[in-house]
Amino acid sequence: MNATRIIAIRHGETAWNVDTRIQGHLDIPLNDTGLWQARQLARALADEPVAAIYTSDLQRARTTAQAVADATGAPLTPEPALRERSFGHFQGRTFAQIEAELPEDALRWRKRDPHYAPEGGESLTALRTRIDNTVHRLAARHPGELVVLVAHGGVLDVLYRLATGQEIQAPRTWQLANAAINRLLWTPQGLSLVGWADTQHLDNAARDETTA
């Protein structure tokens, strides 16, 4: 079976990213920077032979994915299983608020307890299972083709761990930049890493709002 090439994208920036406020399943839009990042990403991928784009149905991902769809002409399919981890009662709070108001929960979260789930939310183990199953299901539809997955920081973190054999509770040492290009290879045996955190399309582009 031919491998499926995957470009995995974290959505563009939101105001809540800037405020370090937990979004989870809350439907927060891109800010102006995020919209610009989506346009730059679309330009960078315009000549890629994309067969299909799958996106989280939350608007910050969907808007980012739509820019890529417009540039590549690839069909865009909303996929709720690519949503961010559900953070339950953490959602809407900043990191500092969680530390101050829920110190015991914050400690378990910070230590990456794989079985801990915020009240009403999802554990890291459950998230990993969801993303692993979803990526296998989607990638298996496109042997020998290139697909784009647009999702969230927590989802991208799981993909990196799956591709590199990192345990779910291991400290993160890799970047999860908004609108970065991350390349993976899928076979029925699993994921492997091709390239990660490419932000040249964001670093080297002069931001001219008059022509945006």
Q: What is the pLDDT of residue 205?
A: 54
Name beta bridge partners: 76: 53
Task: Report whether 109 belongs to an annotated binding site.
Answer: no
- In sequence order, what DSSP letters do the residues of the chain get, joined into one string? -PPEEEEEEEPPPBHHHHTTB--TTS-PPB-HHHHHHHHHHHHHHTTS-EEEEEE-SSHHHHHHHHHHHHHH---EEE-GGGSPPP-GGGTT-BHHHHHHH-HHHHHHHHTT-TT---TTS--HHHHHHHHHHHHHHHHTT-TTSEEEEEE-HHHHHHHHHHHHT--TTSPP-S---TT-EEEEEEETTEEEEEEEEE-HHHHSS---TTT-
Q: What is the pLDDT of residue 133?
A: 98
In this structure, what are the phi and psi dihedrals at residue 20, rounded to the nearest 5 degrees?
50, 45
CA quadruple 30, 138, 143, 186: dihedral positive or negative?
positive
Radius of gyration of the chain (CA): 17
Q: Return d(Cα 84, Cα 152) in angstroms, integer.
A: 5
Q: Return d(Cα 146, Cα 140) in angstroms, integer.
A: 11
Task: Report whether 137 belongs to an annotated binding site.
Answer: no
Q: Express each pLDDT in 85-141 by its tens digit.
A: 999 999 999 999 999 999 999 999 999 999 999 999 999 999 999 999 999 999 999
Task: Report whether 15 belongs to an annotated binding site.
Answer: yes
pLDDT over 90, % of the chain: 94
**Nearest Cα to Cα of residue 77 among 62, 91, 92:** 62
Provide the CA 29 distance to its chain's centre, in angstroms: 15
Q: Express each pLDDT in 159-187 by its tens digit.
A: 999 999 999 999 999 999 999 999 999 99
The set of catalytic residues is 11, 84
Q: What is the pLDDT of residue 208?
A: 52
Could you please state the CATH topology (level 3) that the domain comprising 4-203 is classified under: Rossmann fold (3.40.50)
Whether pTM exceeds 0.85: yes
Task: Report whether 187 belongs to an annotated binding site.
Answer: no
174 in Cβ contact with 197 (< 8 Å): yes
CB atoms within 10 A of CB 39: 19
Name beta bridge partners: 4: 186
CA quadruple 50, 181, 158, 20: dihedral positive or negative?
negative
Specify the amino acid at residue 41. Answer: L
Q: What is the pLDDT of residue 209?
A: 46
Q: Which single residue is written with the structure tokens 């799956």?
A: 162
